[in-house]
Structure 1
Amino acid sequence: MEKLAVIALIAACQTMQLVLARASPDDSQPASHVFDEREMQVLSVLQARLQGRTAKQKNLHRPQSLAWAGWTIARLGGWTGHHSDKSTGPITMRDGLERFRAIVQGYFLTEDLCPS
């Protein structure tokens, strides 16, 4: 039971770190505090797919910052990217993290099975 509680606590801390990073105007905290190097590669690849065509739907945060990663995770969680859409709370981040983890597992699986 304790191990399960620790796992849930880690997931909750990561979710709240991303929520707070998205809400803060400070881009100084690096995303490497939450994501490892391989996950950072996947985040970089996802950036091009998730950014919209208009300037308002671009990720304006400093690359490799936690706010930059939070923007990407929020998009995966269903946030539209518009500033008027305020749904970048814990539930959106949790959903985005779940989807991101699935994408990362698929990325690592193809990398391991189909090396180039």
Structure 2
Amino acid sequence: ETRRGRVARQAVVALRWAKVGLVMKGVGKALYVVEAKEIDAPAGQAPIYWRLLTTHAIQTQQQAHQLIYWYSLRWNIEQVFRLLKQKGLQVELLDLETGKALVQLTLLALFAASKIMLLHLASKQKEAVPLAESFTQQEVACMQALQKRYEGKTAKQRNPYPQDSLQWCYWIIARLGGWKPHEKQAGVITLLRGWNYFQHILHGWTLAQKFVS
């Protein structure tokens, strides 16, 4: 959590779980508590300590690990909502007549947010993440044309990633969003800004390919 001054690290934790019961005004609810506490945290760092309540049955170590993994993804979920809300696609400002129309536009916004998250998560991987079918041939061809414009003369100013990787796409979209290679990794809002700009460029580029010989 770099926003709190905590550098990412691998941690060894002690894992415990138990079934508990909560009672309020005579009404009871059976839950499970899972506790993960870091062993031998680095000097000067507060140990990681998670205590989670869940309705999922936790009876094995594998089930406890699964719950911890789900919880570890919470920041990614928050990032998706950040993309959808005021600083991003602003779905809360939509003024539509029907709920169906709102759902349809929200799904379109989620599609765009998923593209951004795909690039954001790929940028954190040390190994190249295959491009596969994440982008169309036209999108990739347009990015290839844009790369020539946004690369500099020095090695640090060039796209360092394999062209068939998601990281390669991330670099170009981040540059379109105003990110510079000497800066830390681009955040999701910068990537969204770059993605929106790319859509306008792609539209013009596609028309040019179609009508200009």
* Counterpart-to-counterpart distance in 1, 2:185 and 2:197: 16
CA distance in 1, matches of 2:149, 2:106: 35
Aligned length: 112
Q: Aligned pair 1:23/2:128, yes or no?
A: no
TM-score, with structure 2 as normaliser: 0.50
Q: How big is the alpha-carbon RMSD for the aligned residues of Structure 1 and Structure 2?
A: 1.2
2: CA distance between counterparts of 1:80 and 1:28? 22
Contact preservation (8 Å) 1:29, 1:66: yes
Q: Which moved more, 1:65-74 or 1:103-112?
A: 103-112
| Residue number in structure 2 paired with 1:94 | 192
Counterpart residue type for residue 64 of structure 1: D
- TM-score in terms of structure 1 length: 0.90
1:35 shift after superposition: 1.2
Give 2:137's aligned residue. Answer: 37
1:53 to 129, 153, 157: 153
* 1:106 corresponds to: 204
Secondary structure of 2:123's match? helix
Higher relative contact order (CA 8 A, sep 6+): 1
Answer yes or no: is the 8 Å Cα contact 2:177–2:195 preserved in 1: yes
SS of corresponding position for 1:33: coil
1:112 offset after TM fit, Å? 2.3
- More strand by proportion, 1 or 2? 2
Q: What do the CA deviations read for 1:14-51 (whole angstroms, capped 9, x no partner)?
A: 01111111121121321x43210111100111111111
Structure 2 stretches lacking a partner, 5+ long:
1-101
Mean Cα deviation higher: 17-26 or 70-79: 17-26
Does residue 1:80 correspond to 2:180, yes or no?
A: yes
Counterpart amino acid of 2:189? Answer: I
CA contact (8 A) 1:40 1:64 kept: no
Q: 1:40/1:24 Cα in 2 relative to 1: closer, same or farther (>3 Å)? A: same
The percent of aligned pairs where both chains have the same amino acid is 38
In the alignment, residue 119 of structure 2 is paired with which amino acid? L
